[in-house]
Structure 1
Amino acid sequence: MSARLPVLVTRPEPGNAATVARAAALGLDARALPLFAAHALPWTAPDPGDFDILLLTSAQAVRLAGPELAKLAALPVHAVGSATGAAAAAAGLRVECTGATDAQDLIDAMTSYDRPRILWLSGRERSVFDPRGATLTPLPCYGVDPLEAPAAWDALTAAPAVVLAHSTRGAARIGALAGARRAHLSLIAISAKAAAAAGDGWAGVTVTPTPDDAAMVTAAHHLCQKAQK
């Protein structure tokens, strides 16, 4: 039986520690290698009466929103992923819908029967989505800044390993740092867009069926089990 593959967790804290703990509970050799740090931005909640829906695409928006978030409690939440939905519910928000894929699919579903006014509590850097005729108003409440590659990055990517990409921006950074080493690295991406952002040439790419941490760790477990046979 071969040695265990290390599982490299690159997402920002506090999610990084949660993923490492989840993976370790399954017996994986999980390593914390955060490539970004998230921080709160100053923002002011608008009048919730001007909107019909609060869109949340990351649990970081809930964690870092601060006291202004309570002013939006009247709005029904549409969340991407179970972790974001759970964070919103824990913060006292009313979660009406949790999407199992990505934000565009969620927007498509909510605009198929109406043209709602959507307030998107977002990060400073964000993807571009088609509002499908609705009004989509992004309001940044947090930023995510790149960190220097951790000291252990070169050593851990010099041999086969599993790398987790929890976002499109994170996947692009992983791809840039991995370079030619991607030929012996297996990538697990939270979405097809994240996988595309990481580029080609990986030893293997897995896109999780749902955009959440549990699915990513499960995929890593399967890969590591397969490698040990």
Structure 2
Amino acid sequence: MKPVIILRPEPGARETAARAMKLGLIPRLCPLFEARPITWDAPPAKRFDALLMTSAQAARLGGPLLSRYRRLPAYAVGHATARAMEEQGFEHVTEGHRDGSAIAARIAADGHAHVLHLGGTTLARIDSGPLAIDRVAVYTIGGRPDAEIDPHLEPGAILLVHSPRAGSRLAELIGPERRGSLHVIAISPAALTACGLGWSSGQAPELPDDERMLALAARLCE
């Protein structure tokens, strides 16, 4: 069976591996990055109508200051982010299934105007529409110099790419001359584009979540 190589940071890498094993897949962990909390200043909650997180890492690494925003209507992109927020004490999290721009439209439709977006030091662009969005970084993503992908590679291997940044790093590590026997499944079209050309196949699910990525991997393994 073709191995599934998981490039995302922990603890998400282990979560993806567990899901893969339930599908009968063979996961191999090779996180290219690691998420680290940073010191951040928490703006007053009274300034905002709603709270947005587009990454589960924000909930996992935001620390005790997150408690200041538990009374705000909470919004998340993706099931993993919503679950991580709930684990931090946020109730009734509204879950979006596409991207930041789609959830921003939902927040505006719900009648909110000023939103606090907690995320990483690097954030994907969001079409905010009529919303005023204040972005505050609570974590950063750094490369892992000890990450060795070559031992995991074999013809037919499937590489799971969970962000455009991971796609760019993958393209640096594996040149075009080595891509022809490898498959890429990326979480979004942007992440797939970042991987470059020349792969045996490249796909992105209709909606950006782990389960759909693994469903595509399972089809490749049939």
TM range (shorter): over 0.9
* 8 A contact 1:85–1:95 mirrored in 2: no
Any conservation in 2 of the 1:115–1:135 contact (CA below 8 Å)? no
The residue that corresponds to 1:170 in the other structure is: 166
- Counterpart CA distance in 1 for 2:110 and 2:68 is 27
1:208 aligned to which of 194, 197, 205: 205
Q: CA RMSD in A?
A: 1.7
Q: Which runs of 4+ in 1 moved over 6 A?
A: none
- Quote the offset at 1:10 in angstroms: 0.4
Structure 1 distance, partners of 2:101, 2:37, is: 25
Match of 1:157 in 2: 153
**How many residue pairs are counted as aligned between the two chains?**
221
Which SS does the other structure have where 2:89 is aligned? Answer: coil
- Could you tell me how far apart the structure 2 residues matched to 1:115 and 1:90 are? 24
Residue matched to 2:72: 75
Distance 1:173 1:101, change over 3 A: same
Aligned residue among 39, 59, 63 for 1:62 = 59
Please name the residue that 1:193 is paired with. 190
Indicate the residue corresponding to 1:182 in structure 2: 179
Where does the alignment leave 5 or more consecutive residues of structure 2 unmatched? none
Structure 2 partner of 1:49 = 46
Distance 2:111 2:199 in 1: 42
2:3/2:25 contact within 8 Å kept: yes
Contact persistence 1:187–1:202 (CA under 8 A): yes
If the length of structure 2 is used for normalisation, what is the TM-score? 0.93
Query: What do residues 85-129 of structure 1 show as CA deviations (whole Å, max 9, x unaligned)?
Result: 111112111344211111111113323575611110010111222
Q: Is the 8 A contact 1:38 1:145 kept in 2?
A: yes
Contact 2:86 2:93 in 1 (8 A): no
Structure 1: distance between partners of 2:100 and 2:3: 31
Residue matched to 1:20: 17
Give secondary structure in 2 for the equivalent of 1:18: helix
TM-superposed deviation, 1:72: 0.7
Secondary structure, in 3 states, of the residue corresponding to 2:60? Answer: helix
Tell me which moved more, 25-34 or 201-210.
201-210
Q: When the two structures are superposed, what TM-score results if normalisation uses the length of structure 1?
A: 0.90
CA deviation after TM superposition for structure 1 residue 197, in Å: 1.8
Mapped pair 1:30 → 2:27: yes
Q: 1:113 to 1:71 in 2, by over 3 A?
A: closer
Q: Structure 1: how far apart are the matches of 2:101 and 2:167?
A: 19
Work out the CA distance in 2 between the residues paired with 1:216 and 1:130.
Answer: 25
* Letter aligned with residue 102 of structure 1: D
Identical residues among aligned pairs (%): 36
The answer to whether the 8 Å contact 1:81/1:210 transfers is no
Residue 106 of structure 1: aligned partner: 103
